Each structure stands twice: as C-alpha cells, then as structure tokens.
Amino acid sequence: MFKRIRDDIEAVFARDPAARSRAEVLLCYPGLHALLLHRLAHRLWTSGWLLLARWISQLGRFLTGIEIHPGARIGERFFIDHGMGVVIGETAEIGDDVTLYQGVTLGGVSGDPGKRHPTLEDGVVVGAGAAVLGPFTVGRGARIGSNAVVLQAVEPHSTVVGVPGHAVARRLATAGKSCFPAYGNEPGATADPVLVAIDQLCSRVEQLENQLAAVHGQGADQQADAETPRVLVANLRR
C-alpha cells in the first residue's frame, strides 16, 4: 500500500512541474486525494460493502470535485491534474500511467447492465473537457485532445480531436521516456480534419470566385470596346 502511494506521488512529480515537495502533493493535490479515497472505496466494493463504498465515493466527490465510482478499476501511477469535474463510471477500466485533466468524463451511453464505460490502456492522456463515451478501448499511448467527444475505439499511439472525435495522427511506439503532451495536445498533429477540409474548401471557393470575377471583368471591357464606335456614329447623326 505504501509503495503504491509513493508511486502515485512520484507520478505527480513526473507530470506536473508545479509540484515542489511531497508534502505539497499530499496536502494540496485533489487528484491524489480522490485516488486514495477510491483505492479504499474499491477495496470495500470488491469485498461486498457496497453502501459504505458508495458513501466514501460521495465523500471524495464532496471534498475534491472528482467523482469516481467505487467499481471502476484503476492501475498504477494514475494522475488527475486539477481534477474538478472529472467523472469516471462504474465499469471504466484504466491502465498504468494514465493522465486525465479537469472536466473529463469516462461515461456510458447505455442503460443496460454490464460493461458500459471505456477501457483506457497504459499511457493514455485525456485532455481537459473531453468525453469518452461507451464500452470500447482507447489503445495504449493514445492522446485525446481537449473537448473531444470520442464515441468509438481509438488505435494505439494515435491522437484524436474534434466532435465527434477523429484520428489525426499516429505515432510510432518509442522506447524510453518521451515528451509529455500536456492536455493531450501535440503541436502540428491536433488540427481537426473536418475543420481543415472546410478551410480548404472555403479557400478554393474564394479562388474560383476571384477567377470568375476576373472573367466577367474582361467580358465587360470587351463589350464596352465594341459599343464605342456605335456611340460615336449615333452622336454624329445627331
């Protein structure tokens, strides 16, 4: 138990440069408080103390603003940064070294019993305000951009943005530690493909309109040149 707590604290230091001491992390990080309370609630839940587990879960929600159902399964070195408004459903499964930012929802879209919430494999990062909804898997090392709404499975080491979520990039798995992408954002790889296509379409329409205006302008000049002799003849007759 103490080793797990120590690993959770070290995970905060590894991913948040604002952390300055272990005492500060223990006293001032609601994500860690919610995780510690969840460990206890989950132990009670799996032991059959369902009501007490739910009460501890609600206590954690009241104290931290983070709601984790005691039935959710969470791996090692899990980190919730800031954390306010995070919701993790009953059948959610979270692997090791996963990071969530504030406002994330791991929710279900079905009222049927059984698996209703997503599975996040090791190393996943979910940006602020994102919603991952449904009983599918987000692959190892995937990144979910801020405010994305993900409704289907995500390939490992890919980046997903937009509403609904679109995969915009896929990285090769690399050994060793890589740069941590805060808020699931990776420069140069998070543009929504739908918005990019719309921008390209608007640029093309503007280009065609300019070409059409130029053609109409040339036609008007030619027509004016053709009318000039007729005007002169009419004036002479007068």
CATH number at residue 25: 2.160.10.10
- Mean pLDDT score of the chain: 82
Percent of the chain residues topping a pLDDT of 90: 41
Residue 169 confidence class, pLDDT cut points 50, 70, 90: low
Quick one: 206 and 161 in the same domain?
Answer: no
Q: Specify whether 178 is located in the same domain as 219.
A: no
Task: State whether 157 and 134 are in the same domain.
Answer: yes
Is residue 221 pLDDT above 60, yes or no?
Answer: no
Q: What is the mean pLDDT of residues 139-156?
A: 90
User: Are 30 and 138 found together in one domain?
Assistant: yes
Which residue has better confidence, 169 or 154? 154
Question: Within this chain, do residues 218 and 171 fall inside the same structural domain, yes or no?
Answer: no
Mark whether 180 and 81 lie in a shared domain.
yes
The pTM for the full model equals: 0.73
Is residue 156 domain-shared with residue 196, that is, in the same domain?
no
Distance from C-alpha of 20 to C-alpha of 144, rounded to nearest angstrom:
27
Residue 112 sits in the same domain as residue 140: yes
Shared-domain flag, residues 217 and 166: no
94/181 same-domain check: yes
CA dist 118 and 102 (Å) reads 18
Domain that holds residue 210: 192-238
Cβ proximity of 107 and 89 under 8 Å: yes
How many domains does one find in the chain? 2
